[in-house]
Amino acid sequence: MAGTDASDRRPLSRRIADDLRAQIARGDFTPGAPLPSERELIELYKTTKATASKVIGMLVAEGLVYTEFGRGTFVRSRPPLRRISAARRHAAHRDAGKPVFDVQAIEQGQVPTREILFVGRGAVPSHSATWLRVATGTEVVIRRRLQLLDGDPAVLSTSYYPLWIADGTLLESPDAIPEGPDELIEKLGHRFSHGIEVFRAEMPSQEEAQLLRLRPGIPVVHMWDVDYDEQDRPLQVAHDIYAGDRHEFSYEWNEEDIRR
Amino acid sequence: MAGTDASDRRPLSRRIADDLRAQIARGDFTPGAPLPSERELIELYKTTKATASKVIGMLVAEGLVYTEFGRGTFVRSRPPLRRISAARRHAAHRDAGKPVFDVQAIEQGQVPTREILFVGRGAVPSHSATWLRVATGTEVVIRRRLQLLDGDPAVLSTSYYPLWIADGTLLESPDAIPEGPDELIEKLGHRFSHGIEVFRAEMPSQEEAQLLRLRPGIPVVHMWDVDYDEQDRPLQVAHDIYAGDRHEFSYEWNEEDIRR
DNA sequence: AAGTGGTCTAGACCACATA
DNA sequence: ATGTGGTCTAGACCACTTT
């Protein structure tokens, strides 16, 4: 117990949190190891339950530790992240006749599954509407599904298809599309000419946290993937929400890219 | 006040938080608008300070609201995000003789500044060491600086240069490098041939949150940019930490990329 | 001075996990 | 049965902002 002497201007909870954080950084608690219980913290730092509980809450919010009800508080371990490479969509699936997600999963020795959450017509939300170049709320075909790896939720994926493409096609059918929506769109006579992928980090909404089974303190990565045809018409907007503690994203470049 | 009737299995704090969240989603509180004060919440929901305070803490951790000491709690507004396009480094700076950060900032009408935090030799941390293909702790030249836009912290940037490149060069000098490190490296006779950019989302450490002046509930995006020469030797590893509420990242592709 | 968020104590009870 | 985290009440004080 260090750094908690006296006349310190930091609040007690902050001092305790800093102390524990330093101990974790020093390796006193290795990943997976239990922190002192709240009752022990009360003893150690001469405080009360509310404060001890708050301290743990701070570390949880930082993503440094997690709690298990009835068991204890543990240092979070950082499992290896699944690498997602961008602008990957078409290159990858062209080889396989399978959805990109499945191809990448199988490459990495994991079993992909999916739960269809919604298929049907609906109003396109604001951000995706901008990418589709339609007004917010325009009716489109929506496919929403949760994609899992070895049974663990990995990506919450929502795709928006304009009616001029999806109307009356299998895209409106609630069944899974074996070859994936991209291949289906090509079969319908459209052609992916160019696209853009846009990312940002956020904290999950309640619903996202629940569906992706995210522990507190874990951010998500939102990705919008927009595909256009030769006439620069948006064919689809895919909005994927990745569990932040299980994914990273990579992009490669070489001299050809620079000097074009 | 809805959804707080009775015999609800959710904890009171959760019910109140859900209630407020729904009201925000409905637009009862618009971005920038104040939430009921904690004392008002105590009245409204017949509870106590600790619980009201916890409710606010939950919403803050979600990044939905923020508090200002002595003023109140307000709905967070989402300012437009600065777009960062990847594999951008060399293409962009080649035109300008300026660091990429400055070029992109000026393009968007903002004033770039930087605070040098550290320049000198040091031990390369584990993740960057992997990318540099050296052992963790190997001595390298490190340049660490905080980059700001219109005075607001935007990126915390740490670059690692192997000694065979940086030894005895301006890269070791604590002054800013007017043309940017990339151009300097090229002047030293090296050539950027290819590279990779890797991203992931995290919650900030205490230090990162402080330097970037991040509000609670805002994640950061870590980006590693690794550049190689023609012989596939890593010339540098740049580790940038972006404030998550002020940036998004984009990548474009077209048919040429697919069919190579 | 009045209102706001931030912190803390003291103590109680509930829900879950484990031996 | 015991130990763990989760929640809550009641009340006090502090620090900051605004009028």
- Tell me how close the Cα of B186 comes to any Cα of chain A, in angstroms: 14
Q: Which residue is closest to A205 within chain B, CA to CA?
A: B62
Q: Is the pLDDT of residue A77 over 80?
A: yes
Question: Helix, strand or coil for residue B31?
Answer: coil
Near-strand D residues (CB closer than 7 A): A 35, 37-40, 49-50, 53, 56, 67-73; B 11-14, 46-51, 54, 68-71
pLDDT of residue A98: 74
- Beta strands A234-243; A152-161: pairing state: antiparallel
pLDDT band at A150 (very low <50, low <70, confident <90, very high): confident
pLDDT band at B95 (very low <50, low <70, confident <90, very high): low
Q: Which residue is closest to B204 within chain A, CA to CA?
A: A62
pLDDT band at B1 (very low <50, low <70, confident <90, very high): very low
- Tell me how close the Cα of A258 comes to any Cα of chain B, in angstroms: 5
What is the spatial distance, in angstroms and rounded to an integer, between the CA atom of A55 and the C1' atom of D15?
A: 21
Residue A19, classified by CB atoms within 10 Å of its CB into exposed (0-12), middle (13-18) or buried (19+), is middle
Mean pLDDT across chain A:
88
Tell me the pLDDT tens digit for each residue of B64-91.
999 999 999 999 998 878 888 776 555 5
pLDDT of residue B87: 64
Per cent of chain A over pLDDT 90 is: 70
Q: Is the CB of B71 under 7 A from strand C?
A: yes
B contact residues 109-168, partner A, Cβ 8 Å cutoff: none
What is the spatial distance, in angstroms and rounded to an integer, between the CA atom of A33 and the C1' atom of D14?
A: 36
Q: Is the CB of B51 under 7 A from strand C?
A: no
Q: Which residue is closest to B200 within chain A, CA to CA?
A: A248
Q: Is the pLDDT of residue B223 over 80?
A: yes
pLDDT band at B3 (very low <50, low <70, confident <90, very high): very low
User: Which residue's CA lies closest to nucleotide D6 at its C1' atom?
Assistant: A69
Question: Helix, strand or coil for residue B225?
Answer: strand
User: Which residue's CA lies closest to nucleotide D4 at its C1' atom?
Assistant: A70
Q: Is the CB of A9 under 7 A from strand C?
A: no
Q: Left, alpha or beta for B49 (phi > 0: left; psi -120 to 50: alpha)?
A: alpha
Kindly state the average pLDDT of the residues B1-24. Answer: 78
Question: Helix, strand or coil for residue A156?
Answer: strand
Neighbours of B205 (CB within 10 A): 16
Kindly state the average pLDDT of the residues A65-80. Answer: 92
- How far apart are the C-alpha atoms of B2 and A86, rounded to whole Å? 44
What is the spatial distance, in angstroms and rounded to an integer, between the CA atom of B13 and the C1' atom of C2?
A: 27
Per cent of chain B over pLDDT 70 is: 91
A contact residues 66-105, partner B, Cβ 8 Å cutoff: 81, 83, 86-87, 90-91, 94
pLDDT of residue B104: 79
- How far apart are the C-alpha atoms of A232 and A225, rounded to whole Å? 14
- How far apart are the C-alpha atoms of A87 and B259, rounded to whole Å? 12
- Tell me how close the Cα of B218 comes to any Cα of chain A, in angstroms: 7
Contact B188, B165 (CB under 8 A): yes
> Domains (ranges, CATH) in chain B?
12-75 (1.10.10.10), 81-259 (3.40.1410.10)
A contact residues 53-72, partner B, Cβ 8 Å cutoff: 57, 61-63
Question: With contacts defined as CB-CB under 8 Å, which chain B residues touch A199?
Answer: 199, 221, 248-250
pLDDT band at A4 (very low <50, low <70, confident <90, very high): very low
- How far apart are the C-alpha atoms of A239 and A11, rounded to whole Å? 42
Return the residue matching tokens 């602008």: A87
DSSP, res B170: G
- How far apart are the C-alpha atoms of B77 and B29, rounded to whole Å? 11
Which H helix or E strand runs over A75?
A: strand A72-75
pLDDT band at B101 (very low <50, low <70, confident <90, very high): confident
pLDDT band at A223 (very low <50, low <70, confident <90, very high): very high
B contact residues 35-54, partner A, Cβ 8 Å cutoff: 50
**B136 vs B206: which has the higher pLDDT:** B136
Q: Which two tokens stand for residue B98?
A: 């300026």
Question: Helix, strand or coil for residue A255?
Answer: helix
Return the residue matching tokens 């540098």: B236
pLDDT of residue B88: 57
- Tell me how close the Cα of A38 comes to any Cα of chain B, in angstroms: 18
Tell me the pLDDT tens digit for each residue of B169-216.
999 999 888 888 888 999 999 999 999 999 999 999 888 999 999 999
pTM of the model: 0.91
Extract long-range pairs of A135-142: CB within 8 Å, 24+ residues apart.
A139/A163, A140/A166, A141/A166, A141/A167, A141/A171, A141/A172, A142/A118
Q: Is the pLDDT of residue B127 over 70?
A: yes
What is the spatial distance, in angstroms and rounded to an integer, between the CA atom of B50 and the C1' atom of D12?
A: 12
Return the residue matching tokens 């006439």: A231
**B256 vs B120: which has the higher pLDDT:** B120
Residue B29 Cα distances to B33, B36, B215, angstroms: 6, 10, 20
User: Which positions of strand D lie within 7 Å of protein CB atoms?
Assistant: 3-13, 15-18
Neighbours of A234 (CB within 10 A): 20
pLDDT of residue A28: 94
pLDDT band at A97 (very low <50, low <70, confident <90, very high): low
- How far apart are the C-alpha atoms of B182 and B227, rounded to whole Å? 10
Sign of the torsion angle spanned by Cα atoms A18, A21, A23, A29: positive
- How far apart are the C-alpha atoms of B224 and B128, rounded to whole Å? 8
Kindly state the average pLDDT of the residues B12-20. Answer: 93
Tell me the pLDDT tens digit for each residue of A29-51.
999 999 999 999 999 999 999 99
Q: Is the pLDDT of residue B47 over 90?
A: yes
Q: Is the pLDDT of residue B99 over 80?
A: no
Residue A237 bridge partners (DSSP): A160, A226
pLDDT of residue B4: 45
- Beta strands B247-254; B234-243: pairing state: unpaired
Q: 3-class secondary structure for B13-55?
A: HHHHHHHHHHHHHHCCCCCCCECCCHHHHHHHHCCCHHHHHHH
- How far apart are the C-alpha atoms of B24 and B20, rounded to whole Å? 6
